[in-house]
Structure 1
Amino acid sequence: MNQQVEQGYRMHRVLSNLSRLDVDQLDDADRERVETARDLLEEVSLLTRPEDRSHPF
């Protein structure tokens, strides 16, 4: 597996694991940390996702 694919896979796994957390069981500070981490990972994922070359724009 090439490095870019492996990094994308790892980001996806971390994001999936964060999404599975029961944030209702966490205190406010931890809940905010999880939400911040999730937002940052989603942002990075969008930035590093390869472009779909089938679209002309």
Structure 2
Amino acid sequence: MDQQFKQGYWMHRVLSNLNRLDVDRLDDADRERVETARDFLEEVSLRTRPSDGAGMDAHADS
């Protein structure tokens, strides 16, 4: 499996799991940690999402 695909897959899995948490049952500190982690993962996802069929950090070797 391609390394970039693996990283995207795991990032998606973590974000999905964070979104499934019942944050209403957490204390304030844990709720804030979940929100921070969710924000970071969404930001990374937006930065690495291909807009033209190629990743933003893909480089042409020619």
TM range, smaller chain: 0.7 to 0.9
User: How many pairs are equivalent?
Assistant: 53
When structure 1 is superposed on structure 2, of 33-42 and 44-53 the one drifting more is: 44-53
Segments of 4+ moved more than 6 angstroms: none
Which structure carries more helix by proportion? Answer: 1
Q: TM (normalized to structure 1)? A: 0.87
Q: TM (normalized to structure 2)? A: 0.80
Higher relative contact order (CA 8 A, sep 6+): 1
Alignment pair present for 1:51 and 2:62:
no
Q: Cα distance, 1:50 vs. partner?
A: 2.0
Unaligned runs of 5+ in 2: 54-62
Identity %: 81
Note the aligned Cα RMSD (angstroms): 0.9
Map 1:34-45 onto structure 2 (within 5 A): 34-45=34-45
Unaligned runs of 5+ in 1: none
